[in-house]
Amino acid sequence: MEPLYESKISCICCETIFQSTRVRPSFKRASAVDSDFCGHYDNGVNPDFYVVRICPSCGFASTENGLDKLNDTQKKNYYDRIGNNWKGQSFNGERTAEQAMASYKLALLTAQVTGVKDRVIAGLLHHIAWLYRYEKNVAEEQRFLKFALEAYVRVFELEGVSVNNAKLMYLMGELNRRIGELNEAVKWFSRVVNDKKIMDAAMIRASREQWQLIRQEAEENRLGKAKPASQEVGSA
């Protein structure tokens, strides 16, 4: 069975009905998942490459989590900033890593000019960081992890602590850990672990593990630094 198939989508901006390439569920199983939920796929097809749907007529790019409809102001903003410059390139069929990156950046711009929720924008920024991770482009990955983190923080400030936010709090811890802000990371992990209102066992476990990892690495660094010092003493 082919991993890719076409599905019909109606553009919420110009109402064109177009085919968008999708990945069959049986090909969506990751061979490994990173601690910030980035999936790795060794069967040749990365389902993340096909998350963004792009209308060939007007270029409107969105994901399933995007808006359901656009009002007149949002449409005008979209055409003024993006749609009027759309050259009609196709994103149909198999996507390269380069096309996947272009699709996410287009979705990000589209989300920003149409005023999509921060939670969706955070997800797009986080996905772009993952695409850079696949390419081993550490500098860009770090840059986009920081952007994603800032957006997750805005979401949290808006929504506050609710039962559904354990994963969000864990992610804020984990992204802080990945960009080297260890004190901030520990702050979020300890909140997930110690807040009695949080019942999400998977996120509590993950927070405990990553908190432990920070402690372990700090200890290794301490010993690593202590070693040359003691050698100096010995050789003196």
Q: Which residues are at the interface with Zn ion (CB under 5 A)?
A: 11, 13-14, 16, 55, 57-58, 60
Q: What tokens appear for 228 in the block? A: 């040359």
- Shortest Å, Cβ 14 to Zn ion: 3
The number of beta carbons lying within 10 Å of the beta carbon of residue 10 is 10
What letter does residue 159 receive in the DSSP assignment? H
How many Cα atoms sit within 13 Å of 148 on the Cβ side? Answer: 25
Helices (H) and strands (E) in the chain, counts: 7, 6
Contact 56, 90 (CB under 8 A): yes
Residue 38 or 58: the one with the smaller Cβ distance to Zn ion is: 58
Residue 61 or 169: the one with the smaller Cβ distance to Zn ion is: 61
Residue 44 or 88: the one with the smaller Cβ distance to Zn ion is: 88
Residue 50 or 78: the one with the smaller Cβ distance to Zn ion is: 78
Contact 18, 9 (CB under 8 A): yes
* DSSP three-state, residue 7: strand
Residue type, 177: R
- Shortest Å, Cβ 15 to Zn ion: 7
- Shortest Å, Cβ 57 to Zn ion: 5
- Shortest Å, Cβ 101 to Zn ion: 21
